[in-house]
Structure 1
């Protein structure tokens, strides 16, 4: 009887451990004028299974701890097994003590060309470049996990960004855009390089302070939380001095601008004069959001 009970406990424990990501993959092929092709439905299903069923780390995740994320892939051209596309990648995590999910990452990758044969297996091997499709999805899987980790523990995302760097290094010799220094200021290469650069170490601290010591305390003390977030956002001045209009600042405010405007437009009043000045300096393209800040 005790053996039977132990087996049940072990089975329950095994089933309660899930993979890291809870991803939604959407393929939009309307621009190809071939949106009804079965290959797009197969690709969507295969990518969903690939991202959600691959074990990306050695961490143990419970089902409710999986990271919600999305991949909105827009196919712009299709010629046989060759696809030209963009991918909008997003991720979020819950805020402590609330029903609110806060975005942790939001990026539109416009350098996403790949080859795909319907029903081909999608398998990630960190030591080889098997396809641009697999490498791009794996790169963002690790980037999402790293961003999420940094919101819970200072610098905890570095090991996952290093995994993403391995993907970059392996992909570079294969003549695919997005992986090399010459591929522009908003490439996968640049994103990973800056996340690991000593010149931008403040960014990891900003991600941690904004979420863990800011948002997660909103339910207990909203005014204190707003003050913490305001102080945290002022740290972007340091990044601005190193490189105005740097990539990580743009990624952060593409993800957070609407949320920041909402935080500082209601609830208990805090001094936001200097905050608005900082925001207009470091993220001037989001000025329409900063004008909404009233308290």
Structure 2
């Protein structure tokens, strides 16, 4: 009887960890409200952490060490009863093969993150129902984080998760528009999801895969060849620029990777980067201070 109970509990544990892909930390910064000591912010942090980490997002069987490290920094600027005016910084990273280094995968600032929240309200994700803007936004980023992580390991590996995020976009559009509709602006959740799946930006999938799997993951074996491969991969942004100058995905990539690229080509074995620097200054001119640090 005792052995049967142990086996049963073990099975329950196996089911519980299946599909819990994220290792997400949450920070709530409410200093701008002048009410940063309120208990509601501590409760919100706890509930959002549990929501992100305990929700079953996919049918993958993920081991603890395989979970995706990510973080949400919520800056609350105003609170009126149960209505929060806020912005959201989303970050994620993944390990690089044969090293202790972790590379950033996403660093995105969502300035259209306003939501209603009552302390201790249940937070549950139902893909077919709009429950609240808070749940929809967090679920959207959960799938976007998982998708971009998958895209860095397998060519076009992120598409199933980006498509799941599209379902959230479509459902949320029926209730709210801020951040979810084409009219919300050019740097929104809608635009990010739309561009990640657009045939016009297929090159971005090639870049995400080649930069990580054929570049960073190869760095420990042959750093010179890896850097040469990464340089050639980054020059593919020229193709995206030619068809869509100043496109959003290029900005998202370099908001995440500019510092890493600068440091990579400022140390270690030198490679020819004259053409790369020219491309970087053209496709990501706002990051020119980083490109100035690259050694010719």
TM over 0.5: yes
In structure 2, how many angstroms separate the alpha carbons of the residues matched to 1:89 and 1:6?
A: 39
Judge conservation of contact 1:68–1:92 (CA < 8 Å) in 2. Answer: yes
How far apart, in 2, do the equivalents of 1:104 and 1:4 lie?
Answer: 42
Q: Is the 8 A contact 1:18 1:62 kept in 2?
A: no
Give 2:195's aligned residue: 194
TM-score by length of 1: 0.96
Q: Which position in structure 1 is the counterpart of 2:79?
A: 78
- TM-superposed CA distance for 1:243, in Å, is 1.2
Question: 8 Å contact 1:18–1:66 — kept in the other structure?
Answer: no
**Aligned equivalents of 1:72 and 1:5: distance in 2?**
39
Aligned partners of 2:18 and 2:56 also within 8 Å: no
The residue number in structure 2 matching 1:278 is 279
SS at match of 2:225: helix
Coordinate RMSD, CA, aligned = 1.9
Deviations 1:118-144 (A, max 9, x none): 000000011111100000000000000
Secondary structure at the counterpart of residue 174 of structure 2: helix
Structure 1: where are the runs of 5+ without partners?
none
8 Å CA contact retained: 2:72, 2:88: yes
* Structure 1 residue 175: Cα displacement: 2.5
Q: Please list the CA deviations of residues 20-71 of structure 1 after superposition, one character each: whole Å capped at 9, or x if unmatched.
A: 0000010000000011111010000000000000010011110000000000
Deviations 1:102-161 (A, max 9, x none): 000010000000000000000001111110000000000000000000000000100000
Answer yes or no: is the 8 Å Cα contact 2:151–2:158 preserved in 1.
yes
Tell me the equivalent position of 2:96: 95
Match of 1:27 in 2: 28
* 1:251 lines up with 2:252 in the alignment: yes
The superposition leaves residues 254-273 of structure 1 with CA deviations (integer Å, 9 ceiling, x where unpaired) of 00000000110111111000
Q: Secondary structure at the match of 1:143?
A: helix
- CA separation of 1:74 and 1:263: change in aligned 2, threshold 3 A: same
User: Any stretches of 5+ residues in structure 2 without a counterpart?
Assistant: none
Structure 1 stretches of at least 4 aligned residues deviating more than 2 Å after TM superposition: 1-18
1:192-223 deviations in whole A, cap 9, x for unaligned?
00000000011011000000110000000000
Shift of 1:9: 7.7
Paired residues of 2:19 and 2:57 also in contact (CA < 8 A) = no
Aligned residue pairs, count: 295
Shift of 1:242: 1.4
Supply the distance in 1 between the matched residues of 2:81 and 2:202 (Cα, whole angstroms): 44
Aligned to 2:51: 50
Q: Secondary structure at the match of 1:201?
A: helix
Q: Secondary structure of 1:46's match?
A: helix
Task: Please state how far the C-alpha of 1:15 moved relative to its aligned partner.
Answer: 7.4
CA distance in 2, matches of 1:16, 1:254: 32
Q: Is the 8 A contact 2:203 2:236 kept in 1?
A: yes
Return the offset for 1:177: 0.4
In structure 2, the partner of 1:139 is: 140
- Structure-to-structure mapping, 1:110-259, within 5 angstroms: 110-259=111-260
